[in-house]
Amino acid sequence: MMNSSLVNCPVPTEQQPLNEYEELKTAWLFRDCTLHWPQYIQKLAWIWALSWLVAGPVAAASFPPNKQLAHFLLCGAAGASIGVVLGLVHLYLGWLYIRDRLYSTNVFYEESGWYDGQTWLKPEEVLNRDRLIVTYEIKPILQRLKFTLAALAGMFVTGTIVWHLF
């Protein structure tokens, strides 16, 4: 964890927004949002391919591949995309939580974990630092996730149109 360099900060180290951010950006799957586009798409493709392990048999039960190959492929692809969508929503919510913690002027924390919540008002320099991190580090990640979800929605619409053509 990064030392937030706050001597008088009453917030426990693991609950300080900067440290939560540092932990999240190194966590498995969350760090994939910071990769270059080709690597990012590759990670999503892996999730999609692994989701076929569930979606493929379900699609095959509804549309036998030897009789209705196009419908099987479209149904399986849509079903496998649900795994990607769920993963993206999880990522989006995690990054959104950290964005809100960093952007907020107040930090809610628990001293002992026994529901003894406290609020700490960030000093101006901490607030400025945290908001710079939000602007230059987290907002691009959230925009990437929104773009990816929009692209998936476009693929679902395209798949629906193709479905009706067969």
Per-residue pLDDT in tens (0 to 9) along the chain, 166 residues:
555 556 678 888 899 999 999 999 999 999 999 999 999 999 999 999 999 999 999 999 999 999 999 999 999 999 999 999 999 999 999 999 999 999 999 999 887 767 778 899 999 999 999 999 999 999 999 999 999 999 999 999 999 999 898 8
pTM of the model: 0.89
The reported pLDDT for the residue numbered 6 is: 63
Contacts of 8 (CB under 8 A, 6+ apart): none
81 phi, psi to nearest 5 deg? -65, -25
Q: Is residue 81 classed as helix, strand or coil in its secondary structure? A: helix
Within 10 angstroms of residue 139's Cβ, the number of other Cβ atoms is 14
For residue 5, the model assigns a pLDDT of 52
- What is the phi/psi pair of residue 68, to 5°? -130, 65
